[in-house]
Amino acid sequence: MSAPECNGQCDACTQAKDCPEEKKTQQKKPAIDRRLIEMRMAKIKHKIAVISGKGGVGKTMVTVNLAAALAQRGRSVGVLDADIHGPSVPKMFGISGSRLTAGPPGIFPAVGPLGIRVVSMDFLLPSEETPVIWRGPLKMRAISQFLSDIVWGPLDYLLADLPPGTGDEPLSIMQLLPDMDGVVIVTIPSEVSQIVVKKAVTFSRQLGVPVIGIIENMSGFVCPKCGAEIDIFGSGGGEKISRELNVPFLGKIPIDPRICEDSDAGVPFVVRHPDSPAAKAFKEITDRILSTVESKHKSEG
Ligand code: ADP
C-alpha cells in the first residue's frame, strides 16, 4: 500500500495498520527515557493510582478530593491526569484552560487549589471541545513524557487519575511508574460494577502493584426533604467484593448533590463542604490510606 498523504503521524493515522511506512517511522522513534523518569520520580515519596473498572463511578472526584484532603494534612501533592481522552481533573480543580510553562529543567505543572501541582492533557488542547484521536503507542509516549519531562519537584504524593478499565493508559502508568505504593479502586455498590472491580484487582495483581483498597462511592442517599435513606445503587457491594477478593475496604461515600455542584464549581467538596457527611466519610478514608501507605514506608525505611 502506498502512503500518498503520509505526514509521518502514524499513531494518529487510520491506515497505519496496513502501511509499510509505519515500520520505518516506528524505528526512528526515541526510546522511552526510563532513566529520566526514575530521576524525576525519585523526588516523590508516594505514588498512588486511582482506578475503576467502569466510567462514571466518581474516580476523578475521588482523586481530586484525596489530593485536597492530603494537602489539608500538610502533604505536598501532585495530580497526573492520565485520562488522555476525557481529562476532567482541571475542571474539578477550577483550573481548566491553564497552560504548562517550560523552562531549562523541563515543563512545569499548573498549580491548583492548596498548591496542588497538576498536569493534564487538557492543558495542551486548543479548546475543551477538541478530541484526542490517538492510538496506543502515542498515548504511551504522552504518558511517559508526563513522567519524564515534567518538573514535578519534590512531592509527598503523586496521584495518577487513570481512565476507566484496563487499556493503554492504565497499563502505561503501571509499567512506567517506579515503586508505586499501590492503587485505590473506586466502585459503586451495584452488582454490575463488582464484576469490573474484579478485573481491576486482577489487573493490578498481574502487574505486581499492591491494592491499597476499595472505596464504595454513591453509597446511599439521604433525602433532604424527608430524611429517608435510599440505596439508589444498592448497598454494601464494595465491602462484599473487598472481602471476597481479600483487599482492604476503605469506606463509603454517600450520594450528595453538593459533591456534583462542587465538582462543577471547581472546588473539592472536602474544602467547600468540610462538615458534610460525605466530607467526614472522605476524611476517614484519607486517614486509612495515609496510615497504610506511610506506615509501610516507615517499616521499610
Ligand atoms: P469517573 O471519573 O469515574 O468517570 P467522575 O468523578 O467524573 O466519574 O464523576 C461523575 C459525576 O458524578 C461528576 O459530576 C461527579 O461530581 C459526580 N459524583 C461523583 N460522586 C458523587 C457522589 N457521591 N454524589 C454526587 N455526585 C457525585
Instruction: List C-alpha distances in Å: 262 to 1, 97, 175, 216.
Output: 52, 18, 33, 19
Domain presence at residue 14: no
Ligand 1 atom closest to residue 253's alpha carbon, by position in its atom list: 23
Q: Grid coordinates standing for 34? A: 526510563
Of the listed ranges 34-38, 92-96, 260-264, the least confidently predicted one is 34-38
Residue 7: the pLDDT is 62
For range 133-149, the mean pLDDT: 79
Q: Is 218 in the pocket of ligand 1 (CB under 6 A)?
A: yes
**Distance from the CA of 7 to the center of ligand 1, in angstroms?**
39
**Distance from the CA of 288 to the center of ligand 1, in angstroms?**
21
Check if the beta carbon of residue 220 is closer than 8 Å to that of residue 235: yes
Residue type, 299: S
Domain presence at residue 70: yes
Domain presence at residue 19: no
Distance CA 298, CA 124 (A): 38
Q: Which residue has the higher pLDDT, 106 or 137?
A: 106
**Distance from the CA of 65 to the center of ligand 1, in angstroms?**
11
Residue 70 pLDDT > 50, yes or no? yes
- SS3 state at 93: helix
Ligand 1 atom closest to residue 257's alpha carbon, by position in its atom list: 25
Check if the beta carbon of residue 144 is closer than 8 Å to that of residue 176: yes
Residue type, 164: P
Residue 1 pLDDT > 50, yes or no? no
The rounded mean pLDDT for the chain is 87
Q: How many domains is the chain built from?
A: 1
Residue 31 pLDDT > 80, yes or no? no
Domain presence at residue 189: yes
Domain presence at residue 2: no
Residue 4: the pLDDT is 52
191 lies in which domain range? 32-300
For range 40-44, the mean pLDDT: 93
- Angle 144-81-110 (CA atoms, 0-180°, nearest 5)? 95
Domain presence at residue 16: no
Among 50, 52, 54, 61, residue to substitute to test ligand 1 (most atoms within 8 Å of Cβ): 61
Q: Is 63 in the pocket of ligand 1 (CB under 6 A)?
A: no
Residue 26 pLDDT > 60, yes or no? no
Q: Is 255 in the pocket of ligand 1 (CB under 6 A)?
A: yes
Q: Is 105 in the pocket of ligand 1 (CB under 6 A)?
A: no
- SS3 state at 255: strand
CA-based R_g, the chain, Å:
20
- Angle 115-110-200 (CA atoms, 0-180°, nearest 5)? 85
Tell me the pLDDT band of 299, cut-offs 50, 70 and 90. low
Sequence-ordered list of residues with C-beta below 8 angstroms from that of 79, at least 6 positions apart, any chain: 63, 64, 67, 89, 93, 112, 116, 117, 118, 119, 158, 159, 160, 161
Q: Is 253 in the pocket of ligand 1 (CB under 6 A)?
A: yes
Residue 2: the pLDDT is 47
Residue type, 101: T
Q: Which residue has the higher pLDDT, 244 or 1?
A: 244
**Distance from the CA of 58 to the center of ligand 1, in angstroms?**
4
Residue 145 pLDDT > 70, yes or no? yes
Domain presence at residue 191: yes
What length does the chain have? 301
Ranges assigned E (strand) in the chain: 44-51, 77-81, 101-103, 106-108, 110-111, 117-120, 155-161, 182-187, 211-216, 221-222, 229-230, 249-252
Could you report how far apart the first and last alpha carbons of the chain are, in Å? 57
**Distance from the CA of 147 to the center of ligand 1, in angstroms?**
26
Domain presence at residue 24: no
Tell me the pLDDT band of 126, cut-offs 50, 70 and 90. low
Residue 244: the pLDDT is 94
- Domain with residue 170: its CATH number is 3.40.50.300
Tell me the pLDDT band of 241, cut-offs 50, 70 and 90. very high
Q: Is 60 in the pocket of ligand 1 (CB under 6 A)?
A: yes
Q: Which residue has the higher pLDDT, 178 or 63?
A: 63
Adjacent-strand bridge partners of 107: 102, 150
- Angle 182-184-188 (CA atoms, 0-180°, nearest 5)? 160
Tell me the pLDDT band of 3, cut-offs 50, 70 and 90. very low
Q: Which pTM was predicted?
A: 0.88
- SS3 state at 159: strand
Q: Is 217 in the pocket of ligand 1 (CB under 6 A)?
A: yes
Crossing angle of helices 34-41 and 136-148, in 10° steps, is: 40
Most confident of 23-32, 136-145, 213-222: 213-222
Q: Is 56 in the pocket of ligand 1 (CB under 6 A)?
A: yes
